[in-house]
Amino acid sequence: MKSYLKLLPSIFSPAGKRAKLSIVIYHRVLLEPDLLLGQKGDITSFDKHLRILSQNFNIVPLSQAVSMLKTNILPSRAVCITFDDGYADNAEIALPILKKYSAVATFFVSAGVIDGGRMWNDTIIESIRHAQGDILDLTQLGMGNHSIKSLAERQKVLILLIEKLKYMPQEQRQEIVDKLSALIAAKLPDDLMMTSDPS
């Protein structure tokens, strides 16, 4: 692990006359790993990432980094941290850790889903997570029957649906997502995204 950490600076900022800018992109930071998604995007992992980044790199605000890059005054090992979509956990969980390491980040917020909305892929994820029974019947959507007895089977169906829908035109995709949600008829969370409430 120690030898790997020594390699990080050269990977992110290879040798050369002009400094390079690296951007580390996050979406969510959860209290616990999400087993359905098979990810370690949790508070422990994020804290470890921030510790490594703050010890080995110059964390720069994105807007400042762009200006510095244009004028060729970017420091070596420069890195920006960004968050996509505007999940509530960015403010509730990630922000305190950013403050702990005096690190700055840029948050890109999907304004259309704040205040109780949900990203289309989250509707699919939460629908599959809360689906009841051992078989998921998607024949009404032209997608057949799928076993969801095990976590691995749920993951397989989830990947299938996301891959099938993500490149569809937005309106067509949303129509199928709405039908899927109605078919599973589970109570889905409405607090995944940030709110416009400044408090």
Tokens of 71: 């004028």
Q: What is the pTM of this model?
A: 0.85
Structural domain includes residue 198: no
Round to whole Å and give the CA distance between 55 and 114. 34
| H helix runs in the chain, sequence order | 2-12, 43-56, 62-70, 88-89, 95-100, 120-130, 151-165, 170-184
CATH number at residue 21: 3.20.20.370
The amino acid that residue 117 corresponds to is: G
Find tokens 């400044």 and name the residue.
Answer: 198
Structural domain includes residue 94: yes
Round to whole Å and give the CA distance between 114 and 196. 7
| pLDDT per position as a tens digit, 68-126 | 988 999 999 999 999 999 999 999 999 999 999 999 999 999 999 999 999 999 999 99
Q: Domain limits at 161?
A: 118-184
| pLDDT per position as a tens digit, 143-187 | 999 999 999 999 999 999 999 999 999 999 999 999 999 999 999
Question: Mean pLDDT, the chain, as a whole number?
Answer: 90
Residue 11: the pLDDT is 52
Quick one: 10 and 105 in the same domain? Answer: yes
The neighbour count for residue 196, using CB atoms within 10 Å, is 8
Quick one: 12 and 45 in the same domain? Answer: yes
| pLDDT per position as a tens digit, 9-67 | 555 555 445 678 999 999 999 999 999 998 778 999 999 999 999 999 999 999 999 99
Residue 197: the pLDDT is 84
Find tokens 């390699």 and name the residue.
Answer: 7
Residue 38: the pLDDT is 86
| pLDDT per position as a tens digit, 56-74 | 999 999 999 999 988 999 9
Quick one: 78 and 13 in the same domain? Answer: yes
